[in-house]
Amino acid sequence: MSEIKLVFSNYKYVALSLAIFVGLLFPLLLISEYIFLEPYFIAHVNSGTELGLALIVIMVGLAGLVLPMNIYRIKMLQTSKKKMSGGVLGSMIGSAAGACGCGPVGFAVFSTFGSLGATASAFLTNYEIPIRITAIAILALTLYTTSKSIQKECQINLKNQNE
Amino acid sequence: MIKYLISNDVDMGGKRTKNTSRMTSKKGKTNFIFPVIIAIVAVSSIAFLAMSFTDDSSIDTSKQYGTVDTSLGSPILGSSDAPVTIIEFGDYQCPHCKKWFFDTKPIIVENLIDTGKVNLQFLDIAVLGKDSLSASAATYCAEDQEKYWEYHSTLYSNQLGVDNGWANTTNLKKYASNLGLDMDLFANCLDSGNYLQRVLKNTDVSRNVGFSGVTAFMIIGPNNQQDLIIGAQPYEVFKEVIEPML
């Protein structure tokens, strides 16, 4: 928790986190048909889709935490970028899970990627929930390792300064 | 009035900080910022594509039934004299279509179709997988025995995903058998691919309307005024679009 407080004591990281959260949440809700823009803006949760919505919010929330923390870690502590890839990977996997072929991007996917797009779309549709859970697991693991890394590296930096 | 048959026949399962002295190099910075930006831009682009693909200008106003040729579509559900028609564009393997079928359609049937204000016609967009085509063709085989809407309902009730077996030929025949259809007629119809061209033509018509996804509806009023509703939207949206047309 102290690592999260440390990172987000800088308002630039709060702003980055909010930008990531909103920038991912809005398109994902649109793709997954929780919000509609036509004929007018409306939000609607069909019965039985509550779990999918909760997973999207958790996933986007974690991405909003993990990505700025990794940027902080790399920029401020000059550490490796390996852990960053976990956050990006988790976000991308989770985002793709919502791109169901029958959602508002279906025709764009089929037109652009042809039969490969259709096959990928079928997979993403059939395994939407497990894919999102996997993305959340990757993001949670990245959050844990990033927090540990910040904690450890801050202590090392503090020791170096004291010496 | 049409009754919906609900059955489950198959068990299937930054900005850069000022602290640049701590940075190793400019290249290093871009290395980790780029994936984040690319991820956000990718998702945002998909959403933008979704909106931009919804283009009413592609509608050809010279065609029949509003602007859509529904001559090869489903039989009409409700009164053919109803002032307003809903054309539903759907794929039997589409989860959003299934959600609409269970959440919104029953209320539309009760409040608008059964009261004679609205009728509904289904037009296939069999694009999600190979089984989409045979599932749609099977509904027309059922229509030959005057069981189109019953079979249509059975398909959505049994939908389990895309191309994962629930709509293979064996199961399509099983649904027909459960509905009490003449199995010789149905199997001959399905195996001979009698209605595949019809489904493909409907898919072409549906794609040419100009929307971006599979779940879509065109509402056609008494003076041929029309509105598009994209996605598995709730009853309230349909009510707000339809009521001014009545």
pLDDT attached to residue B152: 97
Length of chain B equals: 246
Integer Cα distance of B147 and B144 in angstroms: 7
Closest-CA distance of chain A to residue B221, Å: 16
Read off the amino acid at residue A17. S
Integer Cα distance of B60 and B208 in angstroms: 9
The average pLDDT across B109-120 equals 96
pLDDT attached to residue B165: 92
Integer Cα distance of B238 and B219 in angstroms: 8
- The answer for B169, left when phi > 0, alpha when psi is -120 to 50, beta otherwise, is alpha
B residues 175-214 near A, CB within 8 Å?
Answer: 207, 211-214
CB A65 within 8 A of CB A17: yes
With contacts defined as CB-CB under 8 Å, which chain A residues touch B241?
39
Query: Above 60 in pLDDT, residue B47?
Result: no
Residues 6+ away with beta carbon under 8 Å from B8: B157, B158
pLDDT attached to residue B121: 95
Query: Above 50 in pLDDT, residue B62?
Result: no
The average pLDDT across A1-26 equals 87
Query: Above 60 in pLDDT, residue B14?
Result: no
Tell me how far CA of residue A43 lies from CA of A74, B112, B149, B231, B240, in angstroms: 38, 23, 30, 12, 15
Query: Above 80 in pLDDT, residue A65?
Result: yes
pLDDT attached to residue A148: 84
A vs B, Cβ pairs < 8 A, gives 166
Q: What pLDDT band is residue B42 in, cutting at 50, 70 and 90? A: low
pLDDT attached to residue A79: 60
Q: Does A130 touch chain B (CB under 8 A)?
A: no
pLDDT attached to residue B139: 97
* pTM score: 0.76
Q: Which residue in A25, A38, A60, A80 has the most chain B C-beta atoms within 10 A of its own C-beta, making it the best mutation to test that interface?
A: A38
Q: Which of A27, A36, A74 sits opposite B44 (nearest CB)?
A: A27
Q: Which residue has the higher pLDDT, B174 or B67?
A: B174
With contacts defined as CB-CB under 8 Å, which chain B residues touch A101?
94, 127-128, 162, 214
Inter-chain residue contact B95 with A102, CB threshold 8 Å? yes
Query: Above 50 in pLDDT, residue A74?
Result: yes
Torsion sign over Cα B96, B101, B103, B108: positive
**Could you give phi then psi for residue B195, rounded to 5 degrees?**
-110, 15
Return contacts of B19-25, CB within 8 angstroms, 24+ apart: B19/A75, B19/A76, B22/A75, B22/A76, B22/A78, B23/A75, B23/A78, B24/A78
Closest-CA distance of chain A to residue B43, Å: 6
Q: Does B71 touch chain A (CB under 8 A)?
A: no
Burial A81-109 (b: 16+ CB within 10 A, else e): eebbebbbbbbbbbbbbbbbbbbbbbbbb
Closest-CA distance of chain A to residue B190, Å: 23
| DSSP-assigned beta bridge partners for residue B121 | B87
Range from A62-66, A101-105, B29-33, B196-200 carrying the lowest mean pLDDT: B29-33
pLDDT attached to residue B77: 95
A residues 57-86 near B, CB within 8 Å?
Answer: 67, 70-71, 74-76, 78, 81, 84-85
Average pLDDT, chain B: 80
Q: Does A48 touch chain B (CB under 8 A)?
A: yes
Query: Above 80 in pLDDT, residue B115?
Result: yes
Burial A33-72 (b: 16+ CB within 10 A, else e): bbbbebeeebebebeebeebbebbebbbbbbbbbbbbbbb
| Count of other CB atoms within 10 angstroms of residue B6 | 11
pLDDT attached to residue A131: 87
pLDDT attached to residue B65: 59
Q: Which of B164, B230, B233 sits opposite A126 (nearest CB)?
A: B164
CB A99 within 8 A of CB A71: no
The average pLDDT across A78-85 equals 62
Inter-chain residue contact A42 with B233, CB threshold 8 Å? yes
